[in-house]
Every structure is written in structure tokens, then in C-alpha cells.
Amino acid sequence: MYSILEYRGLREGSSCGYCRLQGGKASHGMWAHSLTVQDYQDLIDRGWRRSGKYVYKPLMSQTCCPQYTIRLSAVNYQLNKSHKKVLKKMQRFLQDGEVSHSANDGISVEPMDSQADSPVSCNVSCTAIPKDELKPLSAEVEETEKQQGERETEKSTVDEAHKEHGDPIEMAKGKTTVHSMPKPGKGADTTRPPCRKAKDLRKERRLQKMLLQKGDQTSSSEHPAVTPTSSKPKANGIKSIEDFIDVPDRENVAHRLEVKLVPASMEDPEFVASFDSSAALYAKYQMCVHKDLPYECGPEEFTRFLCDSPLEMETRQDGISSGYGSFHQQYWLDGKLIAVGVIDILPYCVSSVYLYYDPDYSFLSLGVYSALREITFTRELQKKAADLCYYYMGFYIHTCPKMRYKGQYKPSQLLCPESYTWVPIEKCFPLLESSKYSRFHSNPREGDKDHLAELCRVRILHKRTVMPYSVYKKRRKGPSDETAVKQYATLVGQTCAERMLLYRS
């Protein structure tokens, strides 16, 4: 089984979907007729990414918004407060039917991301280049706005504390706070208990609740109030992401959510049976969220963008039962399809491709929830295939504030665009603050270990015959194409260049 690709060269001068700069984008592209999962794994570890059958790699030093490949160690994933809120909201909805709306639950009208890096149509008789980003902006805006709402809540809490107790940050800095003279009055009401901090009251209520749950009927007088110096009651144990996602299978639950993994193939009966529902959901999402016109998100466009995949389905004896390749992870709520996450299962990771969902259920924060489900799915696969331990979220774009949310999934790493080594994202932030294009590896002498060393060994597919470039070069008639072949081999690396087949007409 071979990967067969056509190198399309450098494409530059198109409009950027992130910063709106005209002519700011630059990327290399290939059309993949077929692609093994191992070859694609190696390509994304060199900064490549697929959209349908089109595979592209941003020219990091020239593009206006550099896109850095980001990956999360799923097995070491740290569940944060923001993500817990989303999981708890889904739990309450499924168990009790509770719907919690907020000002930030609305659909974003940013007409971005699904077309942010869409390559132009190439002169190929039977192929149309599809859209090419990884997560719809609605998921990103949903994450950003939700966190912004939390920050505003925290800010209001701090403001209230500031009014009552002064600004603790300013006090810590040693600055003098000037207070105005109090208005004349009768002073404190001696019939009322003294004022106490809200934090202390919460601690006291928490302790009393714990005591009641344990069946302790001792009077409150025997349990003095918790003072600011009291230690925080320890929880019975830190919950994992699985504890929040696994909803007890009870008869009296309000809703039932079923997540199905379906191969993205018209040869799969289950995929074919759900195709119309999935295509209709995609059209509804694109028109509502991205303001597409009906002809821009019809069944043909849906098929090219999210169903056609160059990845060859593969099974391994020591691997996972589902196999490796492209899949649709369908979310069925009470028998109704409400979301679909398109993913690639590769030897070392689960790679997120796209998400579309029913805008009527935006109050469930499905963009965030689906990412957490995919992380959990990766953790499940890792138990059967030890090497499959990462979750790839596509590209991290530091210059686009709405794309920075990916860095809050921890522990994450960014791919160094020069050495192709992985660096903890916390070490990359200072570099990206000073320069939008940065080399992350600290050793300036550390280069690409898989750099092109022998051009003659690059594999070529010419006139249905596989041959090394050294033989093809002698047989070729017409002008030399050595520059293009060398550029391709440099970008994919020596290993892939010797393993994959570069089609030359």
C-alpha cells in the first residue's frame, strides 16, 4: 500500500481568514490520491494538515498568521474549572433536563474559520479543492466567550471585595490606599453579628454540608465557624474526565445521549444510512453559523469537505478494534443527530478535523464538549494501543485571540517549525509574544533530523511505474523539474519522500 501525492507547489497572495489581510497567506499544497495512516502521521508531525484530500503546510516565516501544530497529551490531560462547568452542564441536562442559558450561549456570527485557509481550485478535471480548517469558529468563540464570561464574573467578585476590603493587589504591592472619610452616623449596629467574608461563609456552609451528609447530628455549637486560617476540607478524591462524562444509565433520566463512531466511507452501511441526516445538519450549521448560501453547503460540498478522505482504512493485530482512518463521531440525543465530530485515528493520535452541530443546542457548549469527548476517546484507545496517546487539535494561532483557547488544554506542546521537535506550550508563549514567527527549540544548531539527504532516492510514480528519482530523471523528456521535486522532498522529509510516491505526469 503506497501513498500517492501530487505536489502543487507554493500558493500565496490569498486573503487570510484570521486577520482579514488581503494577500497575507502563504502555504504549500499537495493533492493526496491515497495516504497511509503512518505517512499522514509523519506529515502532521512536520506541520502538514489535510482538508478533504488536499494536504497543506503553511509557510510559517511568510504567512501573516503563522499556524503551529499543537498536540495534547491525552493520558495526562488536566481537567480545568472551565471544562468542568461544560461537563456538569451536560450532566444536568441529561439527568434532570436542566437547561442553563446565558448571555454567551448565542451563535457567533463571525463568518470565519471554515474557509479561513481554503485553497483555490486547481486545474484538475475531476477534483475540486475543499475547505480546510479544523474546528469551526463557533466552537472557538464559544470557548473564548465562555471563559470571558467567567473572567467577568470573577472581576465582579473582586470589585465587590475591593469595595469592602480594598484592593488586595495594590495592598500587596505596598501602595497606599486613600480612603474618604465615612459619613457621620450612629456607627455599627451592635444588634447584628459582625460582617464576615463571603469566602469564610462558603467554607462554613461546605463544612456543614459535609457533616450532614455523614449523618452527624451534632449541634452547630460544637462545630465552630471556619476561620480564614482553617484548612480547606479535603475532597474524597479528584474526579477524572471520565467521571463527568459517564452518566449513570437510569430509567428516569431526562435525555439520553449516544455517541457513535462511524467510518467515513460510502461502503459502510451505517454511514450511508445516516448520510442525509448528517448532510442536512452540516447545511444548517454552515448557513446559521458561517452564513453560507445553500449552494455552498450542499451534499456535494459536504462530501468533498468532510466525507472524502485520502486515508486508507487499516487494521493492526496489536491495534484497536475500530481500525485506523477517517471517522465521523456522531452525537445522537434521544434519537436525533445534534452534532458530528470528524476525526482521523492515526498510529499515535486522534486528530480533530472539523465539528458541526445543531445551532438549537448551542447552550450545551458542544464545541467544548466534543473536544472533551474526543480527549476521553483518545484515552480509551490508548488502553488498547499504547502508542496512541495524543490528541491533535489542528493549529494554534497566537496572532488570533479566538484561536488561543487551544492552549488552555493542558499539557500541550507546539511543534518547532525548524527542528520539528515538540516544546511545552508554556515555553513558547514568551517567544510568540515577541515575534509571531518563532523557533521554539533552544539550541540554534538543532536542525531537521529528517532533512533531505539524497534526492536520488525520492520515489516517483511515472507512467504507472515506480522508480527512484535518479532513474526518472534520465527518462524524463522536456524541461527539468528538479527544483519542484527537491522542494517537495524537503518539506515532507527524507523518510516520507522515500516511502510515498510523487506522481509526475
Tell me: the pLDDT tens digits for 257-310? 999 999 999 999 999 999 999 999 999 999 999 999 999 999 999 999 999 999
pLDDT for 141 equals 39
- Top-confidence range, 7-21, 216-230, 456-470: 456-470
Q: Which letter does DSSP use for residue 8 in this model?
A: E
Sign of the torsion angle spanned by Cα atoms 421, 422, 427, 431: positive
pLDDT for 502 equals 98
Q: Which letter does DSSP use for residue 242 in this model?
A: H
Contact yes or no for 18/400 (Cβ under 8 A): yes
Is residue 163 scored above 50 in pLDDT? Answer: no
Instruction: Report the percent of the chain where pLDDT is more than 90.
Output: 65
Is residue 110 scored above 90 in pLDDT? Answer: no
Residue type, 502: L
Per-domain residue ranges of the chain: 4-149+243-449, 450-505
How many CA atoms does the CB half-sphere of 451 hold within 13 Å? 8
pLDDT for 209 equals 75
What's the pLDDT band for 211 if we cut at 50, 70, 90? confident
Nearest to 338 by CA among 308, 377, 299, 367: 367
Contact yes or no for 391/72 (Cβ under 8 A): yes
Nearest to 362 by CA among 172, 132, 71, 93: 93
Mean pLDDT of 94-103: 82
Q: Which of 77-81, 89-93, 216-220, 488-492 has the lowest mean pLDDT?
A: 216-220
Contact yes or no for 390/378 (Cβ under 8 A): yes
- Top-confidence range, 21-25, 194-198, 306-310: 306-310
Contact yes or no for 451/495 (Cβ under 8 A): no
pLDDT for 217 equals 47
Mean pLDDT of 152-167: 37
Per-residue pLDDT tens over the stretch 357-390: 999 999 999 999 999 999 999 999 999 999 999 9
pLDDT for 238 equals 81
What's the pLDDT band for 239 if we cut at 50, 70, 90? confident
H or E stretch covering 423: strand 422-424
Residue type, 277: S
In angstroms, the CA 407 to CA 398 distance is: 9
What's the pLDDT band for 215 if we cut at 50, 70, 90? low
What's the pLDDT band for 192 if we cut at 50, 70, 90? low
pLDDT for 220 equals 40
pLDDT for 213 equals 67
In angstroms, the CA 375 to CA 409 distance is: 10
H or E stretch covering 58: strand 54-58
Higher-scoring residue by pLDDT: 4, 175: 4
Is residue 167 scored above 70 in pLDDT? Answer: no
Contact yes or no for 350/381 (Cβ under 8 A): yes
Is residue 127 scored above 90 in pLDDT? Answer: no
In angstroms, the CA 444 to CA 416 distance is: 12
Any idea of the CA torsion for 465, 471, 472, 474, to the nearest 10 degrees?
Answer: -140
Rounded to the nearest angstrom, the gap between the alpha carbon of residue 216 and the centroid of all alpha carbons in its chain is 46
